[in-house]
Amino acid sequence: MNETKILLSERDIPQHWYNIVADMPNKPLPPLHPATHEPIGPDALAPLFPAGLIAQEVSGERWIEIPDEVRDIYALWRPTPMFRAHRLEKALDTPAKIFYKYEGVSPAGSHKPNTAVAQAWYNKEEGVTRITTETGAGQWGSALAFACQLFGIKCEVYMVRISYDQKPYRKLMMNTWKADVFPSPSDRTETGRKILAENPDSPGSLGIAISEAVEVAAKNEDARYALGSVLNHVLLHQTVIGQEALTQMEMAGEFPDIIVAPFGGGSNFAGIAFPFLHHNLTKGRSVRAIAAEPTACPKLTRGVFRYDFGDTAGMTPLLPMYTLGHDFVPAAIHAGGLRYHGAGVLVSQLLKDKLIEAQAVDQIDSFEAGVTFARAEGIIPAPEANHGIAVALREAEIAKEEGVSKTILINLCGHGNFDMASYEAYFAGKLGRLSLSQDDINTAVGKINTPEIAG
Amino acid sequence: MNETKILLSERDIPQHWYNIVADMPNKPLPPLHPATHEPIGPDALAPLFPAGLIAQEVSGERWIEIPDEVRDIYALWRPTPMFRAHRLEKALDTPAKIFYKYEGVSPAGSHKPNTAVAQAWYNKEEGVTRITTETGAGQWGSALAFACQLFGIKCEVYMVRISYDQKPYRKLMMNTWKADVFPSPSDRTETGRKILAENPDSPGSLGIAISEAVEVAAKNEDARYALGSVLNHVLLHQTVIGQEALTQMEMAGEFPDIIVAPFGGGSNFAGIAFPFLHHNLTKGRSVRAIAAEPTACPKLTRGVFRYDFGDTAGMTPLLPMYTLGHDFVPAAIHAGGLRYHGAGVLVSQLLKDKLIEAQAVDQIDSFEAGVTFARAEGIIPAPEANHGIAVALREAEIAKEEGVSKTILINLCGHGNFDMASYEAYFAGKLGRLSLSQDDINTAVGKINTPEIAG
């Protein structure tokens, strides 16, 4: 059999992050003040983020140097391996060549530490001693806990109450890395106390947890806030994935026709796709980059492009994004990382400009694809990752029908070791199909009262 | 910072397994028939194992070629990375250089697939369509499920009832790889039915589960049995670890003074240590190889060297081993993989001949070491692995006291993603110290009525 893994050495860890803003034909629109709806500048973000990250958030520079100390920590798991999925190709009997880049080798088990380490470093550089964040199922919270521990920063995680109770292992992982984890709503914030007063048994939500984490950061000079996706600087940090993948594809003598990645807020999609889009935008390439979202939360395929809040409560700046409305509540699919109402600004603009594509995947199809993958390749993927695999399998099937050999690259963003209960539900036939009706979509979108975008 | 990872390419996956029998000054004693106590030959094993594995079990050849198809599957995760533990050294402020070989990158999350894949292949070659095994916490069962799936072999796992009920995620992992998992005692075997008749609520034990798996294999011509440690051929397959580690240490310009690995039946200790012992036995080297066992199950440090059964029920051949007695029941420590009464034959003979060392570690000290490791290096180790880390930390402390730089190599045999409940118990202060009194040891050893070994 031919080579299975394409491996790089530590010397190949990228030296720069790639900022796609420099190459975008239409630059992203500015964020707006949540109350005045006027464009806001970098200063407005200062209570929440260190200056180094704000500078990246608004930068137009194409390449931004990665600090040595961040690259040293990346070396704990980077460069990540790329695999040629020989066994999966055989199982599918497809002429397509399928590759996957595997981010599950990080200590936290997903791509999230790529930005968590960078964010922790910029905070440390500016004397921040405490970082707050929210987490749902726990992938992001554990990545930030890991990163903060390496720099001696106190990490405070507001974890959605129902996940806190039902999924203790991610919480324990955060504790092992010394983070303090609080069930949200908590009595530590005004937001939390207000909600608990109304409903002492509140199961919490990501929107509430964001509000709590933001409140603590805003009110404490020593503290800052960190977000795991959506924002420009978060997507930026993930581009180490795609840069490595470019080198690895070259070593394999290939260039992908299609790249697929699951889509929640956009960070892991951007991470693999943007460095290849650089070749589309500046070097005449034409790789198709496909974002795979759940049919239960189809903001890219069925949402609208307009200004909306990043959180449920409407505390964040208004961002120009594809959205289903900031109070849209997706069905409780197991791919918790994809249950977000909106899409990151950069990805939204690229989709608007038809420079990327999106496809929706039902949860049942996603698990079917994930199980097919696990039985062929060994790795049991996270439920989020299964969405990307499902789209790859679709495209491989099309290649087979057309009798052409396509090269498909999947971003396998994490393992499913903490998600086996979701596989249990799938095997037990407890999952239903979750397509939204056009009425559901109209109702959700119709409620949005934030500013529209002209054109 | 200097290099963190030492990586090999697929071309560096070993071509042969290393059989230490060829280099042992005293060859292992023969197994005895369980009833007659007469030495038995290879034929006696034929109902349970394919001829290819039996040939390895009794081989005196130094190098045994690894089939190409096995190496192709090894390539899904091998060669595994070796890390220089820069951050751990700094946290300990030790002059010791600490390296760790990380086997947790396999799809099943431990070193166990190294032998599972080999065993499945030899079975497939001889037309076996069904393999039975037992599993406690599930590391071995999931490795065999993974391996069988790749060769289209039916895998039947008897999982200790209490683990089956309390630890569903490992079971689900096996199901994902298509294995059938039955709580043991089951109504599928005479052994199981007999026990259930006496006690319908039996929580099961590894001894019972072994008996069930062996019974099914012995009674069905299409089925064979597989064991995850102890036997010579199992230890043999794991030597890919140490061979890779030799190359990686050489690349780092080092040769270890000390190798440490946790010890259950001996497979992961042997895997890393034997290829280095080859250098001790034939090339004048003098690396210290230290097996780290739990104080709750101290067969190497406090047991006796004599013939004993491999299972609780006394169905297996009698093996010459360090043992606490085949009906010794270790306390319910979380490192389930180390709760075995005896030690593999090859390792026992080497210990008897003072060619290796052993140290015992209390469970509290093991978790303290594991948490120190996780906070410095990121990876959260399996509870078994923590025992090896604890011994490494001891040796690093001694190096510090003596003011000498020692090079220490740890076999980090797996991650703790499925074991976070054990960390919870540790953090909550629910673990006690578990040293056995000399009376406890005398009682356990005094009950052994199997043949003694002269000398």
pLDDT attached to residue A260:
98
Q: Which of A113-117, B44-48, B84-88, B356-360 has the lowest mean pLDDT?
A: B44-48
Read off the pLDDT of residues A6-41 as tens digits, 9 standing for 90 and up. 999 999 999 999 999 999 999 999 999 999 999 999
Read off the pLDDT of residues A385-435 as tens digits, 9 standing for 90 and up. 999 999 999 999 999 999 999 999 999 999 999 999 999 999 999 999 998
Mark yes or no for CB contact B76/A4 under 8 Å: yes
Percent of chain A with pLDDT over 70: 100
CA atoms within a 13 Å half-sphere pointing along the CA-CB vector of A291: 31
Please give the Cα distance from A443 to B287 (Å, whole number).
71
Please give the Cα distance from B340 to B160 (Å, whole number).
14
Same domain, A21 and A129: yes
Please give the Cα distance from A297 to A287 (Å, whole number).
25
Same domain, B197 and B142: yes
Residue A438 has pLDDT above 70, yes or no: yes
A349: tokens are 């603009």
Residues 6+ apart with CB under 8 A from B63: B16, B17, B18, B19
Q: Which of B197, B232, B267 is the last residue of a domain?
A: B232
B453 is a domain residue: no
Mark yes or no for CB contact B176/A107 under 8 Å: no
B316 pLDDT band (50/70/90 cuts)? Answer: confident
The predicted model gives A346-375 an average pLDDT of 98
A361 is a domain residue: yes
B137 pLDDT band (50/70/90 cuts)? Answer: confident
Same domain, A170 and A227: yes
The predicted model gives B10-34 an average pLDDT of 96
Read off the pLDDT of residues B232-267 as tens digits, 9 standing for 90 and up. 999 999 999 999 999 999 999 999 999 999 999 999
Residue A2 has pLDDT above 80, yes or no: no
Q: Which of B142-146, B333-337, B357-361 has the lowest mean pLDDT?
A: B333-337
Please give the Cα distance from A440 to B246 (Å, whole number).
61
A72 is a domain residue: no
A1 interaction partners in chain B (CB closer than 8 Å) = 72, 75
Which backbone phi and psi does B368 adopt, to 5 degrees?
-60, -45
Does the CB of B3 have a partner CB in chain A at under 8 Å? yes
Q: pTM here? A: 0.96
Long-range contacts formed by A40-46: CB under 8 A, 24+ apart: A40/A317, A44/A317, A45/A317
Same domain, A359 and A382: yes
pLDDT attached to residue A330:
87
A108 interaction partners in chain B (CB closer than 8 Å) = 378
B168 interaction partners in chain A (CB closer than 8 Å) = 420-421, 424
B421 interaction partners in chain A (CB closer than 8 Å) = 168-169, 172
Same domain, A325 and A223: no
How close does chain A come to B211, measured CA to CA in Å? Answer: 28
3-state secondary structure of B2: coil
Read off the pLDDT of residues A254-307 as tens digits, 9 standing for 90 and up. 999 999 999 999 999 999 999 999 999 999 999 999 999 999 999 999 999 999
Task: Report H helices in A177-266.
Answer: 190-198, 206-219, 232-237, 239-251
Show the domain range for B181.
16-65+110-232
Same domain, A254 and A129: no
> Which of A106, A172, A374 is opposite residue B177, by nearest beta carbon?
A374
Residue A319 has pLDDT above 70, yes or no: yes
Place of tokens 């259950």: B264
pLDDT attached to residue B147:
98
B455 is a domain residue: no
Same domain, B42 and B164: yes
Same domain, B172 and B291: no
Interface test with B, best of A172, A386, A426 (most B CBs within 10 A): A172
B139 interaction partners in chain A (CB closer than 8 Å) = none
A16, containing H or E segment = strand A16-18
Which backbone phi and psi does A115 adopt, to 5 degrees?
-95, -30
Please give the Cα distance from A366 to A356 (Å, whole number).
21
For the stretch A137-166, what's the b/e string if a residue is b when 16 or more beta carbons lie within 10 angstroms of its beta carbon?
bbbbbbbbbbbbbbbebbbbbbbbbbbbee
What ipTM does this complex have?
A: 0.95
Interface test with B, best of A380, A415, A419, A424 (most B CBs within 10 A): A380
Same domain, B119 and B99: no
DSSP B220-232: -TTEEE--SSSSH
Here the CATH number for the domain that contains residue B178 is: 3.40.50.1100
Mark yes or no for CB contact A176/B77 under 8 Å: no
B451 is a domain residue: no
The predicted model gives A169-181 an average pLDDT of 96
Does the CB of A197 have a partner CB in chain B at under 8 Å? no
The predicted model gives A209-231 an average pLDDT of 94
Same domain, B324 and B440: yes
Question: Which 8-state DSSP code applies to residue B327?
Answer: T
Mark yes or no for CB contact A374/B4 under 8 Å: no
Please give the Cα distance from A252 to A273 (Å, whole number).
18
Query: Judged by CB atoms within 8 Å, which residues 149-188 of B form the interface with A?
Result: 149-150, 168-169, 172-173, 175-178
- The distance from CA A414 to its chain's CA centroid, rounded to whole angstroms, is 11
Please give the Cα distance from A371 to A361 (Å, whole number).
15
Interface test with A, best of B4, B72, B112 (most A CBs within 10 A): B4
> Which of B77, B176, B417 is opposite residue A423, by nearest beta carbon?
B176
A176 interaction partners in chain B (CB closer than 8 Å) = 371, 374-375, 380, 420, 423, 427
B357 is a domain residue: yes
Q: Which of B232, B253, B275 is the last residue of a domain?
A: B232
Residue A455 has pLDDT above 80, yes or no: no
More confident residue, A455 or A110: A110
Read off the pLDDT of residues A42-73 as tens digits, 9 standing for 90 and up. 999 999 999 999 999 999 999 999 999 999 99
- Mean of all residue pLDDT scores within chain B: 95
Q: Which of A201-210, A242-251, A394-403, B109-118 has the lowest mean pLDDT?
A: A201-210
Among A451, A453, A452, CA closest to A35: A451
Residue A1 has pLDDT above 60, yes or no: no
> Which of A76, A377, A423 is opposite residue B377, by nearest beta carbon?
A76
Mark yes or no for CB contact A5/B5 under 8 Å: no
Percent of chain B with pLDDT over 70: 100
B1 pLDDT band (50/70/90 cuts)? Answer: low
Residue B231 has pLDDT above 90, yes or no: yes
Same domain, B139 and B210: yes
Contact between residue A411 and residue A100 where contact means Cβ atoms under 8 Å apart? yes
Mark yes or no for CB contact A424/B168 under 8 Å: yes
Mark yes or no for CB contact A75/B4 under 8 Å: yes
Count of domains observed in chain B: 2
Does the CB of A7 have a partner CB in chain B at under 8 Å? yes
B378 interaction partners in chain A (CB closer than 8 Å) = 76-77, 106-108, 146, 150
How close does chain A come to B89, measured CA to CA in Å? Answer: 14
Query: Judged by CB atoms within 8 Å, which residues 11-30 of A form the interface with B?
Result: none
Same domain, A352 and A209: no
Residues 6+ apart with CB under 8 A from A342: A230, A265, A299, A303, A308, A310, A319, A321, A322, A323, A324, A326, A348
- Mean of all residue pLDDT scores within chain A: 95
* Neighbouring C-beta atoms of residue B36, cutoff 10 Å: 8
Read off the pLDDT of residues B144-191 as tens digits, 9 standing for 90 and up. 999 999 999 999 999 999 889 888 899 999 999 999 999 999 999 999
Q: Which of A204, A232, A260 is the last residue of a domain?
A: A232
Is the omega angle on the peptide bond into residue B168 within 30 degrees of 0, that is, cis?
A: no
B72 is a domain residue: no
Mark yes or no for CB contact B4/A72 under 8 Å: yes
